[in-house]
Amino acid sequence: MSFTFKDTKYRSAKVVNGVTRGGPRAHLKGLGHTAEEFGKPFIGIVNCFNEMHPGHIHFDRIGKAIRDGVQQAGGVPFEFHTISICDGFLQGHIGMCYSLPSREITADSIEIMAQAQQLDGLVFICGCDKTVPGMLMALLRLNLPSIVVTGGPMLPGRVKGQEYATYELKEAAGRLKSGQITEGEFFELEDALSPGPGSCAMMGTANSMSIASEALGLTLPGSATTHAVEGKKIRMAKESGRRIVQLVEENLLPLSIVTQEVLEGALRVVMSVGGSTNTSIHFPALAYEAGLNLTLEDIERISSSTPYICKIKPSGSHTLLDLNDAGGIPVVMKELSSMLPLDRMTVTGKTFRENIEAFANSNKEVIRPIANAYMKQSSLAVLKGNLAPEGCVIKQTGISEKMRRHTGPARCFSSEEEATEAILEGKINAGEVIVIRYEGPCGGPGMREMLTATSALMGVGLGESVALVTDGRFSGSTRGPCIGHVSPEAALGGPLCAVQDGDSITIDVDGRSIELHVDDDELQRRIEANTFTPKPQAGSGYLKRYSGAVSTAKYGAILK
């Protein structure tokens, strides 16, 4: 009797081959697997199903479809789970401190499972703000045959014939507080704005990074905008399950697909549709895992040379459903074809050019040709100056023309909660610049989103007269003159720690500058006199370890 069950070209041969592997084989037999299956490729299905989150609630069904596809193609599926959190539940409290740090746990936990179990290939099911980048980081780090299945957006909410996304509830809270709407109208919105499964129906981080997955060549064409409720999403999952077995046989690896030019091309695609400011954290982190390099300067170079061709909520009135109906990301890539490396290989075994050939633009107002772009420059702008020597980020597609250059007196706060309270209580005046500090990766810790504050600002009608500057970050649903990712952060002695109420600050988006009008010597004196005390939530556990190891936003808030 032979103790060789599997060709050694498969990593999993280490698990089943040889007389000393009787224990693992016994375990597999106890699970119902046959000796014949020992010879097939072992495929890991990485699932972040979660019953509390709309972005993940349907992943059990997607996982089953993938398993079916793997089995049809002659592989053996092994599904395992990793953590997932929904930023929608974390706004305005300590929970948000765990959002960005969860990205690293997601990536690390997948590495541990894939390496410990010696899986041959992986299918990644992801869909929310940190699960998509976390899984992409693991995918690039492991460099095993892999394919991504994104969960898809939820349908937009509908109230009285108008379409909405969930972020608009935050703004509605400000309108309720200022008497613009009634409680009944608010609850009508609340009942309708998250109508079912899927990532929030806007160009937030989840959808921005799902688009990145497709533009990196790691999903089937059309995956990013195929909605969660569509049968097509299940068919694509099943097809991805079949395809991963072929990828293992072909030994087509992620780092053969994701080159420097493909990474930059994917960022260009995301910028062209008004992608989230959070991409400026996640793309450098992806580059790091792939052994590549992408800096804030690169992001500025790419964004400033990319036309803005899709105006999706919150920057415009179109929805992800409109984008999907117009042809989705394949059509966006077609419109940008002269600027992208379309002859590179993808997980389909075909090039980008071959993948998008059959797609046509069915709505040139939703996906505009370059010649009719909304703007010559796309989503993000990187500003530098004495207030942000290493840079900071603004989503320039979401601000009014009158706020592209603004000078005003500072109003300083040491947390989002303090700033939000002041906004909702009417204590912020037109023309001011709100400064929220000690919310960076180290000082927050965890670089919380300031969505509650920024939405309140829009809701009370100050979105075109008050700017906001922070070393924290924003949700992709943030709009208005909001500047985040100020680096170095205040907790590390960055100039933001030295701002005082009444100091004049000038923000110049077109000039790519942000200046604190304080003498250099006085600024240095204030910085040296600053004493930062870590926030109580960093006192123990994971956040304490994270705070001590995380890099600045400039480098993608990675752990080294």
Contact yes or no for 446/98 (Cβ under 8 A): yes
C-alpha dihedral (105, 299, 518, 411), degrees to nearest 10: -60
CA contacts within 13 A on the Cβ side of 254: 30
Q: Which of 475, 477, 487, 547 is catalytic?
A: 475
- Confidence at residue 452, expressed as pLDDT on a 0 to 100 scale: 82
Question: Mean pLDDT across the stretch 347-353?
Answer: 98
CATH number 3.20.20.70 is the correct assignment for the domain at 381-555: no
Percent of the chain with pLDDT over 90: 84
Lowest mean pLDDT among 139-143, 177-181, 251-255, 325-329: 177-181
Please say if the pLDDT value at position 145 is more than 90. yes
Higher pLDDT, 315 or 241: 241
Please say if the pLDDT value at position 464 is more than 80. yes
Strand order from edge to edge, sheet including 121-126:
76-81, 42-47, 121-126, 146-150
Per the annotation, the verdict on 475 as an active-site residue is yes
Which residues belong to the annotated binding site? Answer: 87, 129-130, 449
Question: Domain spans of the chain?
Answer: 40-156+195-357, 381-555
Q: Which residue has the tokens 């095993």?
A: 144
The SS3 of residue 372 is helix
Q: Side chain identity at 224, as an amino acid letter?
A: A
The SS3 of residue 493 is coil
Distance CA(393)–CA(277), nearest Å, equals 7
- Expressed in angstroms, the distance from the first to the final Cα of the chain is 49
Q: What are phi and psi of 316, to 5 degrees?
A: -145, -165
Please say if the pLDDT value at position 478 is more than 70. no
Please list, in sequence order, all residues whose beta carbon lies within 8 angstroms of the beta carbon of residue 240, skipping any fewer than 6 positions away.
66, 69, 123, 147, 148, 149, 219, 220
Say how many C-beta atoms besides its own lie within 10 A of residue 523's C-beta. 18
Please say if the pLDDT value at position 144 is more than 90. yes
- Confidence at residue 309, expressed as pLDDT on a 0 to 100 scale: 97
Question: Mean pLDDT across the stretch 270-291?
Answer: 96
- Confidence at residue 532, expressed as pLDDT on a 0 to 100 scale: 67
Distance CA(185)–CA(102), nearest Å, equals 35
Please say if the pLDDT value at position 472 is more than 70. yes
> Is residue 295 left, alpha or beta, with left meaning phi > 0 and alpha meaning psi from -120 to 50?
beta
Q: pLDDT class for 136, splitting at 50, 70, 90?
A: very high
Please say if the pLDDT value at position 435 is more than 80. yes
Q: What is the pLDDT of residues 189-227, one digit of tens each?
A: 999 999 999 999 999 999 999 999 999 999 999 999 999
* Mean pLDDT taken over the chain: 94
Q: Which residue has the tokens 């989002």?
A: 416
Q: What is the pLDDT of residues 301-310, one digit of tens each?
A: 999 999 999 9
Contact yes or no for 61/45 (Cβ under 8 A): no
- Confidence at residue 536, expressed as pLDDT on a 0 to 100 scale: 66
Which residues belong to the annotated binding site for Mg(2+)? Answer: 87, 129-130, 449
Question: Mean pLDDT across the stretch 33-37?
Answer: 96
Please say if the pLDDT value at position 475 is more than 80. no
- Confidence at residue 1, expressed as pLDDT on a 0 to 100 scale: 67
- Confidence at residue 476, expressed as pLDDT on a 0 to 100 scale: 61
Higher pLDDT, 407 or 169: 407
Please say if the pLDDT value at position 538 is more than 80. no
Q: What is the pTM of this model?
A: 0.95
- Between 3.40.640.10, 3.40.50.10680, 3.40.50.2300, 3.30.2020.30, what CATH number should domain 40-156+195-357 receive? 3.40.50.2300
Distance CA(494)–CA(289), nearest Å, equals 27
> Is residue 192 left, alpha or beta, with left meaning phi > 0 and alpha meaning psi from -120 to 50?
alpha
Please say if the pLDDT value at position 370 is more than 90. yes
Q: pLDDT class for 450, splitting at 50, 70, 90?
A: confident
Which has the closest alpha carbon to 330: 318, 321, 342? 342
Question: Mean pLDDT across the stretch 535-542?
Answer: 74
